Structure formats: C-alpha cells, structure tokens
Amino acid sequence: MPSVRDRVRVPFFRYPHVFAQHRVEIERALLGAAQSGAYILQADLRAFEDELAAFCGVRWAVGVGNATDGLELNLRVAGVGPNSEVLLPAHTFVATAGAVVAVGATPVFAEIGPDHLIDATDLEPRITPRTRAIMPTQLNGRTADMDAIGAVAERHGLAIVEDSAQGLGSRFCGRMAGTFGVAGVFSFYPAKVLGALGDGGAVITNDDDTARALRELRDHGRDEHSGEVVRWGRNSRLDTLQAAVLRVKLRYVGDEIARRRELARRYAHNLGGVWEVLLPPPPDVAPGDPHLDVFQNYEIEAERRDELRACLAERGVGTLLQWGGKGVHQFPALGIRQRLPRTEAILARSLMLPMNTSLTDDEVDYASEQIREFYGAR
C-alpha cells in the first residue's frame, strides 16, 4: 500500500482540466466546427481573431500555428535578418532565441532583474552597429518595464518584438502585453492562460500592413483575397478547430486571470514570512505600481532549492524548473559563448510552484505548509 505521502497531492499541472473546465461548451464548439466541414482559415478562426483583437484593444490578430512561428514571422516583418543582432533575456524559452536564429540573425543575451524579466539597464552596453531589435519576454505573466525598454529602442532606432507568449492579459502602465512593439505574440500551448487543446498562437498588431504581411506569410505567401502568391511564405495557420475551442475559453479568460491572481495572493499570504523564499511581486501592488500580472507561472527563488524540491516531491507536491533550470546560453549544444552571472544565479535558485485554475485553496495551503515545514517556519 502506498502511503499518503507517496501519492501526488498537488500535481504541478492537470492537463485534462484544460478540456474539462468548460467541457460542455467546448464539446459543442468542436462538434459544430467538425460538422461544418470548414477546417482551414474559416469562420471560427476569423471570429476568434476579431475577438482576441477586441480583448487586446488592437485592430488585428492573426492566428498562427504556434507562438514560435509567430515570433519568427514577426521578426521577418520587422526586417530582422542575416547580419543582425537581437537583444533578449536568457531566462526565456529556447523558442525566443530559436526564432532569431531562424531568420538568420544572432541572439545577444542581456541580464535579468530581480523580477526575472529582462533588465533594461543592461541593454545599452550590448548594442552594436548590427543590433536591430529588442525582444523582451513577458515572463510568468508579467510585462517588463516597457518605458525603459522603449526609451532604449527609440534612442538607438531598434524594433521591439515582444515575446508575450506567457503574457496574455498582463499590463504595464495600463497597456497590454503584446502592444508595445509594432506586433506582439501569444502562445495557446495548453498550459497557458488561454490554452488550446494542442498547439496555437497569434500575433496582434495595430498596423494594417503588418497584419496583411502576417496573413500572407502564414499562408504560403498568398494574398488573402486573390490567392495570388505575392511573397515567399509558409504554412502556419491557426487550426480552425483550435480557434473554435479558443473562442470558448476567451470568454472566460477574465475569470481565469482573476483566479490566478487570487491563488498568488494566497501563496503570498501563506509564505510571506518565510525568509528563505523570495516570492514574485504580489498581485495587490502598491499604489502607482505600473504592473498588472496574470501569473502564468508562480516562480519563486528558494534557499536549498533542490532539497526543497525533493522534499515537496516526497510530500506529493509537483514543482518544475522552468526550461529545466537553464538559461538559453547554458545549453552547450547551442554554442553560445556568453556568461550571465546574475541570470545564472537567479536560475539556480528558481522553482515554479503549482499555479493553475484546477487548484483548490486547500491545495495551495497544503503546498505552502510543506514549504513552511521544510524551513521550520512557525
């Protein structure tokens, strides 16, 4: 007989919840789309694009196969290509840097600050005559200091290409993640705030020409009206079935974000007094704080991180090291010769606690209690 402690009490994530949460409506949407016979670039996709654009307060959303493609296409439209350099954080998914490499440019990494997002003060020393763009990753559902980043971009004539894959709904100074450059990118990977039942992504923009170029690039370079091939493109269309699911989930995204913020508040209340852990900035910010975070992830820093993680696993609490605990520059196979001492020090202490809307308050309390016990906190 396995003991209670052998059982998973609080899994890091429950994938079936992505479907189960709004099961009846999703079933209806899927069946409707399946029976319609309209599978590629059809009504549900158009409607989702309009609804997402309205949610973000922009003119256009263009559905793509995944956020990685969205980043690559966005870089191409921004004119980033061979012999260019792009500044980005190393505490990001390899996809951010992979998109840079895919357009023939070179990723140059800047340090992150205490909130785990790109440090705007570390950009200027890394700018060269070849630098073309800054790619801030709006990590963990928090938007970076876009005033400071925007000022650097403006001073040096650089494009801003936001990786807001994790940032849907988050804001800085009231402005949504994804709206700070000409275009911004979201991921609908199932574990995201807006999660599909598979891969999906979108690029948002206010610029008509950029939207048209993106629609062409995602559909083999074809003009969306005439079908004439007007440029080299590829196939990266957001699947209409996924769009049908996303339409349902977008209707509830406000509740999703509110609940995540409630869970973050609960963690902050439970763990606030434990000096061995450093928590993300709490959702109830001081007056004047420009951030509104959506808590895509709850990434803490912890003393004796690996011991804590093992202890939590033994007590049935799932945790995760984002990117396996390594910055992009720390994968030897990629041949990146940069050292980023501050980023590396933060990554060596970082740990993601369960954060998703399948969690009950009791589960967050249980996970928190195990952390308190580990550190002997009263």
Ligand X SMILES: Cc1ncc(COP(=O)(O)O)c(C=O)c1O
Identify which of residues 67 and 77 has a Cβ nearer to ligand X in the complex. 67
Binding to ligand X (CB under 6 A) within 350-369 occurs at none
Q: Which is nearer to ligand X, 68 or 242 (CB)?
A: 68
- Locus of tokens 């990977």: 189
Note whether 93 binds ligand X by CB under 6 A: yes
Does the protein bind ligand X through residue 187 (CB under 6 A)? yes
Residues in region 18-47 near ligand X by CB under 6 A: none
CB of residue 133 vs ligand X: minimum separation in angstroms? 15
Interaction mask 52-91, ligand X, x per CB under 6 A: --------------xxx-----------------------
Closest to ligand X by CB, 137 or 270? 137
The answer to whether the CB of 282 falls within 8 A of the CB of 264 is yes
Shortest distance, position 315 Cβ to ligand X, whole Å = 27
Planar angle of CA 170, 346, 134, nearest 5 degrees: 50
Closer to ligand X by Cβ: residue 21 or 96: 96
CA neighbours within 13 Å on the CB side: how many for 97? 21
Which helix (H) or strand (E) segment holds residue 67: the answer is helix 67-77
Q: How far apart are CA 144 and CA 96, in angstroms?
A: 15
- Contacts for 284 with CB less than 8 Å, ≥ 6 apart: 265
| Residue 137 near ligand X by CB under 6 A | yes
Closest C-alpha to 159, from 183, 190, 138, 133: 133
When the beta carbons of 236 and 319 are compared against ligand X, the nearer one is 236
Select the span of 3-11, 92-100, 127-135, 214-222 touching ligand X (CB under 6 A). 92-100
**CB 328 to ligand X: min, Å:** 11
Least separation in angstroms between residue 260's CB and ligand X is 15
Number of residues that bind ligand X (CB under 6 A): 15
Window of 5-13, 22-30, 53-61, 93-101 that interacts with ligand X by CB under 6 A: 93-101
| Cβ neighbour number for residue 88 with a 10 Å cutoff | 24
Q: Is 92 near ligand X (CB under 6 A)?
A: yes
CB 365, min distance to ligand X, A: 28
Does 343 help bind ligand X (rule: CB under 6 A)?
Answer: no
* DSSP E strand boundaries for 219-359: 277-278, 291-292, 298-302, 350-353
Separation CA 296–CA 314 (nearest Å): 25
Beta carbons of 267 and 353 less than 8 angstroms apart: yes
End-to-end, the C-alpha distance of the chain in Å comes to 32
Smallest separation (angstroms) from ligand X to the CB of 144:
12
Do residues 230 and 221 make contact, with C-beta atoms less than 8 angstroms apart?
A: yes
Q: Which of 178, 201, 280, 316 binds ligand X (CB under 6 A)?
A: 201
- Nearest to residue 202, comparing CAs of 319, 211, 268, 281? 211
What would the two tokens of residue 153 be?
């971009």
148-167 footprint of ligand X as x/- string (CB under 6 A) = ---------------x-xx-
Q: Smallest distance from the beta carbon of 187 to ligand X, in angstroms?
A: 3
Are residues 113 and 119 in contact, defined by beta-carbon separation less than 8 angstroms?
yes
What's the min distance (Å) between Cβ of 96 and ligand X? 5
Contact between 95 and ligand X per CB under 6 A: yes
Eight-class DSSP state of 334 = G
Of 68 and 356, which has the nearer Cβ to ligand X?
A: 68
Q: How far is CA 156 from the centre of its chain?
A: 26
Question: What would the DSSP string read from start to end of 210-247?
Answer: HHHHHHHHTBTTB-TTT--B-S---B-BPPHHHHHHHH
- The 3-state DSSP class for residue 55 equals helix
Q: Nearer Cβ to ligand X, position 95 or 347? A: 95
189 binds ligand X (CB under 6 A): yes
Q: Work out whether 236 is an interface residue with ligand X (CB under 6 A).
A: no
Binding site for ligand X (CB under 6 A): 66-68, 92-93, 95-96, 137, 163, 165-166, 187, 189, 199, 201
